[in-house]
Amino acid sequence: MAEDTFDDSADPVPVAERLAAEALIVDVDGFEGPLDLLLTLSRTQKVDLRRISVLQLARQYLTFVEQARALRIELAADYLVMAAWLAFLKSRLLLPPDPAEEGPSGEDLAAHLAFQLERLQAMRDCAARLMARDRLGRDFFARGLPEDVTRRREVRYTANLLDLMQAYARLRTRDEFRPFVMDRDAIFTMEQALERLRGVIGEAATWTDIASYLPEGFTTDRQRRRSATASTFAAALELVKEGRAELRQTEIFAPVELRRKD
């Protein structure tokens, strides 16, 4: 690893640091990821997070990873990704900047890491302050016996005068309402008239009033006569259409007369 390349130059890893890293390894499951571990490591520097030495921190972290390897402890992938990145960062920080190289400087990267650590620490502090606040149900309380709002659904029935009158009218005239089919006896249908006319048309050699063709029982009652007259007239028209009869009316309101057509 990069560790070896730079160890001999500027930063021999102090024994204390190696021991600290070893102690942390025991607790590796207790860390919430590499950033958390870095934050814990940074505390060993005993300085304000703003003045942390990222270089030193990188070294501490790499030592930790080395130790874990030596102890054959499997580290989660993100710890190794962080290790690789920190090794890269370390090289950036130690080597003089290469003007041909693209991307952010080692200082920029280090500053951002420091910012992340400071921000994480700040959030931890906030979380602690938040949880230490007076809390509902622990330090202050809501009403123990709440009186719930009862939602009363009231159905208000309504009707207007028209409804009332129509209801009454409906009731009082119910007897007048007869389903149409029930009154078929008062109706002489066109089919019936046509059948009847076809049977008798052969005899109509001379002009005959179609009224004389009305069936029995349909001549006296007004309703029945009206119905039979209409259907017989329609049937007569049908026969004319078929070319079997002729119709004539000498003047307005005069009888309609029918004659066989040969």
Q: Which of residues 186-215 bind other proteins (CB under 8 A)?
A: 186-187
Least separation in angstroms between residue 142's CB and other proteins is: 5
Q: Does 135 bind other proteins (CB under 8 A)?
A: yes
Helix (H, G, I), strand (E, B) or coil at 12: coil
Q: Does 126 bind other proteins (CB under 8 A)?
A: yes
Q: Does 153 bind other proteins (CB under 8 A)?
A: yes
Residue 59 CB partners (closer than 8 Å, separation 6+): 3, 11, 13, 17, 90
- Among residues 14, 27, 43, 125, which is the contact residue for other proteins, using CB under 8 A? 125
Please report the sign of the dihedral spanned by the C-alpha atoms of residue 28, residue 30, residue 31, residue 33.
Answer: positive
Helix (H, G, I), strand (E, B) or coil at 1: coil
Q: Does 100 bind other proteins (CB under 8 A)?
A: no
Cβ nearer to other proteins, comparing 115 with 199? 115
Write the interaction track for other proteins spanning residues 15-54; mark x where CB under 8 A is met and - where it is not.
-----------------xxxxx------------------
Q: Does 216 bind other proteins (CB under 8 A)?
A: no
- Among residues 69, 85, 198, 238, which is the contact residue for other proteins, using CB under 8 A? 85
Least separation in angstroms between residue 55's CB and other proteins is: 17
Torsion of CA 239, 240, 245, 251, to 10 degrees: 120
Cβ nearer to other proteins, comparing 180 with 253? 180
Please report the sign of the dihedral spanned by the C-alpha atoms of residue 121, residue 127, residue 129, residue 132.
Answer: negative
The single-letter DSSP state of residue 133 is: S
Q: Does 108 bind other proteins (CB under 8 A)?
A: yes
Which listed range, 20-28, 119-127, 212-220, 235-243, lies at the site for other proteins (CB under 8 A)?
119-127
Please report the sign of the dihedral spanned by the C-alpha atoms of residue 7, residue 68, residue 54, residue 44.
Answer: negative
- Among residues 15, 100, 130, 252, which is the contact residue for other proteins, using CB under 8 A? 130
Q: Does 249 bind other proteins (CB under 8 A)?
A: no
> What are the angstrom distances between the C-alpha of 118 and each of 21, 34, 176, 247?
21, 14, 93, 112
Which listed range, 14-22, 171-179, 241-249, 250-258, lies at the site for other proteins (CB under 8 A)?
171-179
Cβ nearer to other proteins, comparing 208 with 227? 227
Residue 86 CB partners (closer than 8 Å, separation 6+): 57, 58, 61, 62
Q: Does 131 bind other proteins (CB under 8 A)?
A: yes
> What are the angstrom distances between the C-alpha of 188 and each of 39, 108, 169?
105, 106, 31
Tell me how crowded residue 245 is: count the other CB atoms within 10 A of its CB: 21
